[in-house]
Amino acid sequence: MKTIRLKNNQINYPIFIGSGLYADIGKLCKQYIDKDRVFIISDSVVSTLYKPEIIRAFKTAKVKCIFISISVNEKKKNINTVINLSNRLFSYNVDRQDTVIAFGGGIIGDIVGLTASIVLRGIKYIQIPTTLLSQVDSSVGGKTGVNNIYGKNLIGSFYQPQAVIIDTDVLNTLPKRELLSGYAEIIKYGIIKDTIFFEWLQKNGKKIIEGDTAARIHAIHKSCMNKSKIVEEDEKEHGIRALLNLGHTFGHAIESLNGFKKSVVHGEAVAIGIILAVRLSCIEGYTNETTFNKIITHFKEIGLPTQLPKKIAKLTAKNFVSEMVKDKKTINKNITLILVKDIGNAFIKKGISQSKLIKLHKEITT
């Protein structure tokens, strides 16, 4: 098992990464909880697959486990679900010594994290992510959130977990499409700040998708290291943490314009968003065609989408840009984007005019 410690003056928690961790997960969690019971919150798919195994492990550790399974998707990732989940916890007389465990993908993690941050003004929570995306990104760093009618993740909090426990075995049941979605967030770290990791992915990326445990552990470890370093420096996104949003302003607009339907999942929207951000970096002269080609070639080889879905490409540039303006980083309608100078060298560009985005939209849709 590999351990990373995310640590600065305010934050200090471990991220455990390994294979076969569920057998002893009750014992592993015990040191982070204040009493002998936990609430495990999961989605219906993950419950069906892993509930008996997890309950057994907590029983062995003599921890009572209240397992709550909820049905979630991007459309249900909203404040009503948080309220309903809070009420379920109150129905069990939740108190401030209780701990909730987010056991599922990024949607469960974001909902449970937000719920934990507001129930009784904050109770402890542990992340046990079960998708590649949540293992390399959303379970680490304490961003919680839900969507509303104005857009993606607009309601949320920064609230750090007590621990993150990543078992790669769970990825063996994850559909290929979801693995690829997680891969988009992995490659993001390479493009933002880690050229060597990007090159490693060029050679080994396929192994991650095909099920090679060592390759998965390496990629998850590298991703969590990269993310931890950024979060340690800038927890609340006053500066460099924004780099992690590479592709996301475009991506969130795509998800939102698609009505948060499953036909485009988060990582797919981010993959397309990264391509658009690098394309814009080219048009603006920050980077060159060679960099763009290296990135798009790798995306195509691995099987990530690189073009706007037809339905969204048909919308007008104005539609698209007005959706992008809703991003959390927008100030006075000025859009901030993460652009690239090279692979491993992304930067924050503030004040992007809407006309530049309209020009980009024209280039990619005609």
CA distances (Å), 141 to each of 110, 126, 164, 232, 252, in order? 11, 12, 10, 9, 19
CA distances (Å), 150 to each of 110, 256, 308, 337, in order? 18, 9, 21, 19
Q: Does the protein bind ligand NAD through residue 148 (CB under 6 A)?
A: no
Paired with 342 in beta bridges are: 345
Amino acid at 276: L
CA distances (Å), 133 to each of 66, 208, 363, in order? 26, 12, 30
Residue from the set 130, 256, 281, 291 that interacts with ligand NAD by CB under 6 A: 130
Cβ closer to ligand NAD: 221 or 361? Answer: 221
Least separation, in Å, of the C-beta of 324 and ligand NAD? Answer: 16
Which residues neighbour 168 within 8 Å (Cβ) at sequence distance 6 or greater? Answer: 17, 18, 19, 135, 213, 216, 217, 220
Residues 6-45 that bind ligand NAD (CB under 6 A): 43, 45
Q: Does the protein bind ligand NAD through residue 153 (CB under 6 A)?
A: yes
Q: Does the protein bind ligand NAD through residue 105 (CB under 6 A)?
A: yes
- Compute the distance between CA of residue 249 and CA of residue 256 in angstroms, rounded to an integer: 11
Q: Does the protein bind ligand NAD through residue 106 (CB under 6 A)?
A: yes
Cβ closer to ligand NAD: 21 or 360? Answer: 21
Q: Does the protein bind ligand NAD through residue 305 (CB under 6 A)?
A: no
354: tokens are: 């809407």
Q: Does the protein bind ligand NAD through residue 327 (CB under 6 A)?
A: no
Q: Does the protein bind ligand NAD through residue 235 (CB under 6 A)?
A: no
- Compute the distance between CA of residue 209 and CA of residue 132 in angstroms, rounded to an integer: 10
Least separation, in Å, of the C-beta of 122 and ligand NAD? Answer: 17
Span interacting with ligand NAD, options 117-125, 127-135, 216-224, 316-324, rule CB under 6 A: 127-135
Paired with 203 in beta bridges are: none
Q: Which residue has the tokens 């919680």?
A: 144
Cβ closer to ligand NAD: 20 or 351? Answer: 20
60: tokens are: 């062995």
Q: Does the protein bind ligand NAD through residue 81 (CB under 6 A)?
A: no
Q: Does the protein bind ligand NAD through residue 46 (CB under 6 A)?
A: yes
Rule CB under 6 A: which residues touch ligand NAD?
43, 45-46, 49, 74, 77, 104-108, 110, 130-131, 133-134, 137-138, 141, 143, 153, 170, 173-174, 178, 181, 266-267
